[in-house]
Copies of this chain bind each other. A is one copy, B any other.
Amino acid sequence: MIVIDPYSPEPVYRQLARLLRDAIDRGEYGPGQMLPAEGRLAQIYEVGRDTVRDALDVLRSEGRVDTTRGARTRVRADQGKADFDLPSGGRVDGRMPTLDERERWGLRPGVPLLEITSRDGAKKVVPADRFTLVVPE
């Protein structure tokens, strides 16, 4: 069963990212479940470990998996999202946090920030993986 084609115009690390993402979507790796170790994946797909890391970087930046040093990469479990009531007449912008903001608020990779500006200029920032914004009736 050949799955990775080194001669494809699609880079190997992207092919691998796609394979793993599809496997997650098919439920082969459920939420909270571990993927094979990086070295193991490198053996299985016959690629370098750096290529495996590039592929996992893609999934991390998409917010699909979490990696803990020493442990392995796990499929990110959906957290329950709370509602955030938007102020009428307010404005919403989305952006990625800086590294400092990530550490300060304990944000995982691939989680955007939602920036809500009220009419009086007051700003609130909430992580997109924990809140759904609700538009008033």
Residues of A in contact with B (beta carbons under 8 Å apart)? 14, 17-18, 21, 57-58, 61-63, 81, 86-99, 110-114, 128, 132-137
Measured between C-beta atoms, what is the minimum distance from A20 to chain B in Å? 12
- Stoichiometry, as copies per complex, reads 2
Return the chain B residue nearest A87 by Cβ: B135
Return the chain B residue nearest A57 by Cβ: B57
Contact of A96 among B21, B62, B135 (CB under 8 A): B62
Q: Is the CB of A132 within 8 A of B99?
A: no
Q: Is the CB of B135 within 8 A of A114?
A: no
- State the CA gap A113–B94 with chains docked (Å): 8
Residues on B with C-beta less than 8 A from A95 are 63, 112, 128
